[in-house]
Each structure stands twice: as structure tokens, then as C-alpha cells.
Amino acid sequence: MAKGSDPNGWSRARGLVVKTLVLIGGAFLLKRLTKSTTRWDHAKIVARSLSGEKFSREQASRDPDNYFNFRILTCPATEMVDGSKVLYFEQAFWRTPQKPFRQRFLMVKPCPKDLKCDVEVSSYAIRDVEDYKNFCDRPRDQRPLPEEVIGDIAEPLTTLYLNRCERGKRCLYEGSTPPGGFPNSW
């Protein structure tokens, strides 16, 4: 052993390194846990939740006189300059998914600050629906380009204003159309 060396020096240094790492990790965890969800975070969560393939099978089997089994397919189409997500949405009968009967663009963005909501989802008609049939099922190189998508967004149809559901509720977001907008029930 060298003269003047501390036999416990390495264990003290190791202990100091471990304590430092724990302190830094705790600080990162605390920051992450206390970080509030931004308006754009809400919009991204809704856009991600709307994307994918969904079926109305359960609803149709419970009440076949009033509901059909639809296939709903939604996928990202482009992003606007302001960061709004544009999704392509198509609805078809589950037996003939290659023949959609309803096609729309959905624009998902944070609600304007003057409204008491988290996310605004607006639906738009598509200029030439034939160009978009089975859009989500096609390889990306066979889809219209992002600038073409933006140019094909036609007249607005309806808007939904969503708020995050309260803890304990069996939903992620809920909302309604504006007063005088599309009816909530038929």
C-alpha cells in the first residue's frame, strides 16, 4: 500500500458517484412528473388516438337494427405550417373495406386560447375522393404528396371541441360541437 493513501478512498468516491446519479435521476423524475401537459401535447395525443383501424362490431352486435359493422381507418396525411395534424379518415362496411363510402380530412390542433377546451378537431371534405381511396393502405410513395393533400382540403364540415376526461372516467377526451353546429344526436 502506498504511503499516505486512503484504503477507503475508492469506496467513498463510488458512494459519491452513486449519490450524485440518484440526485440527478430524482431531479429528472420530479421535472417529468410535475410537467404540465401543453396544448400541443393534447393535440398530439388526440391525433395519435384517432389514428389506426377501428370497427363498430361490438355496437352492431348489441343493436343490429340500428348499427352496422363499419371499418374506420385513419392515418396521418400531412402537417400544416402551424403544426396542426391533418389525418385522412375513411369509413367502409367491414366486408368491403376497399370501397369506402365516407372520406374526410380531420384537422387536429389545440383549441384557441379564448375557448375553454383542449383540442379542436375539424372535418373537411376532400376535393377528389377517388385520389384518396384506400390512402392509409397504400405505400407512402403511392399516396398524394403533402402539398397535394393541403390543396385538396375542401369545405369545412363540422368541428368538435374536446376536453381531457376527468380522472376515473372511462374516456380519454370528450366534447361536443359548437352551439348551432352539427347535432350531437339524430
**How far apart are alpha carbons 71 and 78 in whole angstroms?**
22
Determine the pLDDT at residue 185: 45
Whether the pLDDT of residue 186 is over 50: the answer is: no
CB 74 within 8 A of CB 89: yes
99 membership: H or E segment, kind and range: none
Element at 54 (helix H, strand E) = strand 52-55
pLDDT at 27: 63
pLDDT tens column, 134-162: 999 999 999 999 999 999 999 999 999 99
The β-bridge relationship of strands 173-176 and 153-164 is antiparallel
Tell me which DSSP letter residue 135 carries: G
pTM for the structure as a whole: 0.75
Kindly state the percentage of the chain with pLDDT values over 70. 81
- Report which residue type is found at 42: H
The model's pLDDT over 92-131, given as tens digits with 9 standing for 90+, comes to 998 898 999 999 999 999 999 888 899 999 999 999 999 9
For the chain, how long is the longest CA-to-CA vector? Answer: 92
Q: Where are the beta strands (DSSP E) in the chain?
A: 52-55, 70-79, 85-93, 102-110, 119-126, 153-164, 173-176
Per-residue pLDDT reduced to its tens digit, 34-46: 557 788 999 999 9
For 50-83, write each residue's pLDDT tens digit: 999 998 888 888 888 888 889 999 999 999 999 9
Domains of the chain: 39-176 (2.40.128.590)
Whose cell is 380522472? That residue is 167
Quote the cell numbers at residue 149: 393533400
**Is the pLDDT score of 14 beyond 80?**
no
Q: How far apart are CA 147 and CA 38, in angstroms?
A: 28
